[in-house]
Amino acid sequence: MCGSLVVQSLFTFVYHLTGSTAFYAISNSIAIGLIGYALIVVLRSGRDSSASTAFLVASVIAISLTVVVNIPNVSTSDVLKYLSLYIFYAAGCRNENPLRPIELYCLYALAVLPIAFMAFGASRIWESQDEPFGYLPNANIAVLHFTALLFAASPVLGNRVILLQLLNAAFMNKIGAIVATVISICMWATVPLRRESVLSAVAIITPVVVIGAVAYQFGAFDRAITAFDGLVFVLNIDPRSVVSMSYQKLVLLTGSTDLSGFFRLIHWTNIWDIYSSGSLGTLLFGYGPGQTPALTYAEMVPHNDYLRILVEYGPINLAIFVGFLVHIRGALKTAPARVLFVVLCIYFFSENLLDSFTSMTLFFAYAGRMAAYGATASATQTLNPTGSRQ
């Protein structure tokens, strides 16, 4: 899987460098082939009554109903990308082996490739009609990419990935990622409250605070401060008034052109109004995978994957997805993996992450891998309580 992602990313980057649609087609073909291979792994593993299989079957049924109801308005690529989350997790659950060195080398390569592309890429092809499976169109997706790599490497790197994740979010200067990471660490340290986790959290956060103080002097948090001032502005007036304001008026009132927070508020309200005023069929099964850009005035997906699944797939699929995330969080046995997975779950509230094929593949395939390995380790400990395996 990791090797395929490296090759797929290479073709994607070459596509953006050259603009040749042949490389775009090859990149997508590799991604589709990887989904097919993961599905074959699941099917060939024999009859399995595990939760991963149950979620996969439930998602296939629910997504199929949505597709049938909305057959004229269905994006096949969106269906594949969303369904692949369940497929990769189920495939990962079939692998109980620990991380191998060759996998780490592939993860290192996936970390270097986008950096190399930034250094040597002469052009980027962000055509609206293109739907590539793997690329980094902005810093939000870049944060997610490196978070996924840290998550996959957490069995080897241990608690260090939490510190690296804080640095990742701070370096990219993305407010959503910073907030998600801090909330996740606080949840880890306090729920349940344990002396060991609190001490570990303090040991991790202390050097980051020092680094953050230096970064503040160089203006690294100017955007975050502007966003906070905008939030105070919203709290001091009626939020419904903000939704009805033009962007020009918001710029005049806030004194800033950084209106990402206001854009989300307005965009979410617009999407919710469209969904809540729909027919019974759309309330139950959504408007169809990939249809939110065609519905909204901004012609964009919601910047909230929970809302996106609700509007495009319906509440049944949303309930399955939320239950799926809760199950994975409970199946992960190590603190670093849990912290980074909760970062993903929180980040789903403010970004479009489902389109990030490489990151989603790493997160869910390795989540299944860690869940399977953790279950095997727990069983070994139960059978042999005096053993040395941890």
What pLDDT is stored for residue 132 in this prediction? Answer: 39
- 155-160-162-163 Cα dihedral, nearest 10 degrees: -160
pLDDT band at residue 390 using 50, 70 and 90 as cut-offs:
very low
The C-alpha atoms of residue 144 and residue 364 are separated, in whole angstroms, by 13
pTM score, whole prediction: 0.83
Kindly report, residue by residue over 1-38, the tens digit of the pLDDT: 999 999 998 888 888 777 788 998 999 999 999 999 99
pLDDT band at residue 255 using 50, 70 and 90 as cut-offs:
low
The C-alpha atoms of residue 197 and residue 185 are separated, in whole angstroms, by 9
Query: How far, in Å, are 32, 327, 364, 375 from residue 45 at the CA level?
Result: 20, 21, 18, 17
The C-alpha atoms of residue 216 and residue 185 are separated, in whole angstroms, by 21
Look at residue 96 and tell me whether its pLDDT is greater than 90.
Answer: no
Closest C-alpha among 373, 342, 371, 368 to residue 88 = 368
Contacts of 196 (CB under 8 A, 6+ apart): none
Section 279-285 average pLDDT: 92
Which of 37-46, 65-74, 123-132 has the least mean pLDDT?
Answer: 123-132
Phi-psi map region of 314: left, alpha, beta (phi>0 left; psi -120 to 50 alpha) = left
Look at residue 146 and tell me whether its pLDDT is greater than 80.
Answer: yes
Kindly list the domain boundaries of the chain, sorted by start residue. Answer: 2-125+132-380
Which of 74-88, 226-240, 286-300 has maximum average pLDDT?
Answer: 74-88
Kindly report, residue by residue over 322-339, the tens digit of the pLDDT: 999 999 999 998 989 999
